[in-house]
Amino acid sequence: MEPNWNLEAERALWRAICAPNRWHAADGITVSTHPKSYQYFLEYGWGAKLFLKAHPEEPQWYYAPIHHQFCAWMQKHLLLWKEAALTGLPGRYHLAVVLPRGYGKTVSATKAGSLWSHLDEPDMTTLFCSSLLPLAVDILGAIKNTVSGKNRNSWFTWLYGNWRQGNTDWDKEHIKHGYRTSDDVSEPSFDVSAVGVGMTGYHHRQHWWDDPIYKNKLKDDRVAYMKSVHDAVGATFNACHTNGLVAYVLTRYLDDDVAGRYFKEEGIASWDGMECPHMTACTEKVEWGKGQWHVFFYQTEDEMTGEITHPGLWTKPMVADRKRRDPEDFACQQQNNPGSGDRAPIIESQIPFLYMRYEDQQHLVPIKWATIHIDTAFKQTENIRTGDDSAIVVWLADARENGILYLDTDLMQASNEWREEEFNQRLVNTCLNLRRRGIWIRAITDETEPGGKAGTYRNRILGVLSGAGIELGTKNFITLNRKVNKKARIRTGAGNWAEGYVRILLHKDNADNWIVPKVLRKCVGQILRVDHAGHDDLADAQTDGFIPQLWSKPMSNPGMPAEEGSVAPRPWDEDLKGIGKRPSNEELLAMIDDQKELRELGMQDGVRGRDWADSDDDAAWADRMTGHENNRLGL
C-alpha cells in the first residue's frame, strides 16, 4: 500500500525552509527565517549535496564541520544586511569569504548566496565580477541553469517555479528573470563584469567579486596588473547602492591583493572560521573589531596544530609534498597567508615572544646607544604617488655586548602624508626625546639620494638638528643604497629577529594586555611578508640597525624569548634537552637528588636520556645552570 503523502504540503514546507523571511516563528504569526535556511538551500535548493552524492568521482568539497558553520555565518550576515537596507539609511555591508582553493567557495558563497537573497526580494539586482569576463559569465550561466530547471540536482524550480518563463531579458551576460515584479528597475536581475571591462551606468544592490586576480597574469608585469585589478574593484564601489552589499569571495595571492588592501585600509569588523594568522596585516590602520569587513576564513592546514582541516580533500603527505614543491603557492592558495611559506625567516606566532615591557627594560637593561633609521619617501615624487611611507625607526643597543637591540615603539613613526618640514620636526623631536633620557645617538641612517644629489638632504637635516642643539657630524649620518638586494637584506634582518636578537618595547593596559601600536603592526606585517608586501618602508628602515657599521653578531646567541622575563633554550643547550622549560635552581637540586637516589638503587640503566649530572661534578653542573639563570636575568 502506497503511503498517503501530501507532496504539496512537503513542497510548501521546503519552500518556507529554504528561503529567507518565509518561516513562521514559534508564535505561528511572526515571519522569520528558518535557523538552517541557507544550509538547506545550498544542499537542496541549489543542489550541491545532491550533485556530490550523484557524482562520487568528483572532489567531495562539501564538508559539514566547515560548511555548516559557513552557512550559518552567511545566513546571519545576509539577513543583517537586508535588515539594515530596509531602514533606507546609507551604509554598505562588507563580506569577505576567504577559503582555500577547492573548498567550494564559489558555489557555496557567490552562486548560492546571491540567488538566496533574491527569494524574498524579486526586484533584487546583482553584479558578478571576476578576473576574466568568461569566469563571471560562467557564474551567471550556473544561475541561469538553476532557475530555469536545467540543473537536475536542484530543487529550485520545484520549489519556486521556472524563472526563465516570463523573463524580459535573457542574454549571455545579463538576465531579468520572470520572478521580477517591477518594470521600474532598469538594472538586470543578474549582470556581469570583470577586470579590464568597462562599467555600465547601472547601480546594482549587491556586488560579488569572485577571485578578482588571475594568477597567470601575476607572472608578467605584476605592478601594472595589480593596478588594473585595484582600479576595477574601486570602480565598482561607486556603482553599488550606498546601502548595498559588497562581497569578496577569494583566495589570497599577495599582501597587497584585493583582500589585503581593503582589510588594511578599512579594517575588520568580525572574523569567523579559523583564527586570523596575519592579524598584524589586518590592523595597520583600524583597530580590530572596529572596521568594516566581516570575514569568514579557513586554511588547509592549521598553522598552530599542523592538523588538516578538510580530510576529504587533503592528507598530511599531500600537504607535505605540496609545500615541498611550492611553499609560497601553498601559503597563498591553501593557507590564505601570503609570505608564510616554509621559506619565511620568521612567523607571526614568534613575534609576541619578543615583547618586553618598557619598565623591565629601564630597570634591567643598560643602554649603550641609540641608532635612528629613516626612510624619506617625500624626496621623490614617484614614491609619494605610489603611497610609500616616510618612516622613523629607533633601535636601542644593549650595553652588555650580547647583540640584543630594543625596538623603541614609542618613537616609531610612519606616514605617506608628511612633507619634509613635518618629517624634520618629528626627527628633531625624536632626537630630543633620546637626549632627555640620557641616551647617546650613535648614528642616523638614510637612503642615498638619486640623480647626483648625494648629501643634499643630509647636510640640510644636520643643519636643522644643529639649530635644535643636537650636534651630529657627517660621519654619524650614514647613507646607504637600499635599492640593491632590498628583499634579501630584510630577510637577513628578520633572521636576526628569529634568532632572538630583538626585543620589542611595549606598554601594557590595566588588564595586563599588550598595547600594540598600529605602526608596529605595519612594520611586523612588512617583515613577515617580505616577498609579498606592497610597501616595505618600515621593514627596510629597521634593517639598517643590523648593518656592519653598527652591529655585529656576538659569539653566543641570546635565544628567542619563551615568555616574559625568560629565554627559550637553544638547540645547543644539551643540558636542557630533556625538559620542557628552563628549571629553577630548586628544581635543579631536586633533579640531582633524584639521580643520586636512582644510582644508589642501581636503577640508572633504566633511566631514559642522558645522565643529568655525573656523581663527580654535581656541584659544578648546578653552578653552571645557576649561572645560566643569573645571566638571563642580567645579574
Instruction: Write the secondary structure of 162-201 as one string of H (helix), E (strand) and C (coil).
Output: CCCCCCCEECCCEEECCCCCCCCCCCCCEEEEECCCCCCC
pLDDT at 381: 58
Q: pLDDT category, 567, cuts 50, 70, 90?
A: low
What rounded mean pLDDT belongs to the chain?
85
Q: pLDDT category, 579, cuts 50, 70, 90?
A: very low
**Residue 376: closest CA among 410, 409, 421, 431:** 421
Q: pLDDT category, 606, cuts 50, 70, 90?
A: very low
Instruction: Give 508: exposed, middle or buried? Use CB within 10 Å, 0-12, 13-18, 19+.
Output: middle
Q: Mean pLDDT, to the nearest integer, of 347-366?
A: 91
> Is the pTM here over 0.75, yes or no?
no
Q: Mean pLDDT, to the nearest integer, of 99-111?
A: 97
Q: Does residue 598 carry a pLDDT above 70? A: no
Beta strands in 310-389 (DSSP E): 355-357, 367-375
Q: Mean pLDDT, to the nearest integer, of 386-414?
A: 92
Fold of the domain built from segment(s) 348-546: Nucleotidyltransferase; domain 5 (3.30.420)
Beta strands in 23-70 (DSSP E): 23-24, 31-32
Comparing 595 with 395, which gets the higher pLDDT? 395
CA–CA separation, 405 vs 403, rounded Å? Answer: 6
| Lowest pLDDT segment from 38-42, 276-280, 509-513 | 276-280
Q: Does residue 583 carry a pLDDT above 60? A: no
Q: Does residue 591 carry a pLDDT above 70? A: no
| Lowest pLDDT segment from 70-74, 157-161, 550-554 | 550-554
Q: Are 375 and 541 in contact (CB under 8 A)?
A: yes
CA–CA separation, 413 vs 393, rounded Å? Answer: 7
Buried-state track 428-454, b at ≥16 Cβ within 10 A, e below 16: bebbeebeeeebebbbbbbbebeeeee
pLDDT at 532: 62
Q: Does residue 572 carry a pLDDT above 70? A: no
Check residue 352 and report its DSSP letter: G
- Percent of the chain at pLDDT > 90 equals 60
- How many other CB atoms are found less than 10 A from the CB of residue 570? 15
Instruction: Give 374: exposed, middle or buried? Use CB within 10 Å, 0-12, 13-18, 19+.
Output: buried
- Torsion angle, alpha carbons of 206, 211, 217, 222, to 10: 80
CA–CA separation, 23 vs 356, rounded Å? Answer: 55
Which distant-in-sequence residues (6+ apart) come within 8 Å of 532 by Cβ? 254, 255, 256, 332, 338, 339
CA–CA separation, 528 vs 279, rounded Å? Answer: 11
Q: Are 138 and 188 in contact (CB under 8 A)?
A: no
Helix, strand, coil distribution of the chain in percent, nearest 5? 40, 15, 40
Comparing 445 with 386, which gets the higher pLDDT? 445
pLDDT tens for residues 280-317? 667 777 888 999 999 999 999 998 788 999 999 999 99
Check residue 513 and report its DSSP letter: -
Q: Are 389 and 416 in contact (CB under 8 A)?
A: yes
Q: pLDDT category, 578, cuts 50, 70, 90?
A: very low
Q: pLDDT category, 607, cuts 50, 70, 90?
A: very low
| Lowest pLDDT segment from 146-150, 356-360, 485-489, 503-507 | 485-489
Comparing 286 with 65, which gets the higher pLDDT? 65
Q: Does residue 608 carry a pLDDT above 50? A: no
| Lowest pLDDT segment from 3-17, 417-431, 494-508 | 3-17
Residue ranges per structural domain of the chain = 7-298, 310-343, 348-546, 574-632
492-495, long-range: CB within 8 Å, 24+ apart, which pairs? 492/345, 492/543, 492/546, 493/527, 493/539, 493/542, 493/543, 493/545, 493/546, 494/345, 494/346, 494/527, 494/528, 494/530, 495/345, 495/346
> What single-letter amino acid sits at 408?
D
Q: Mean pLDDT, to the nearest integer, of 452-481?
A: 85
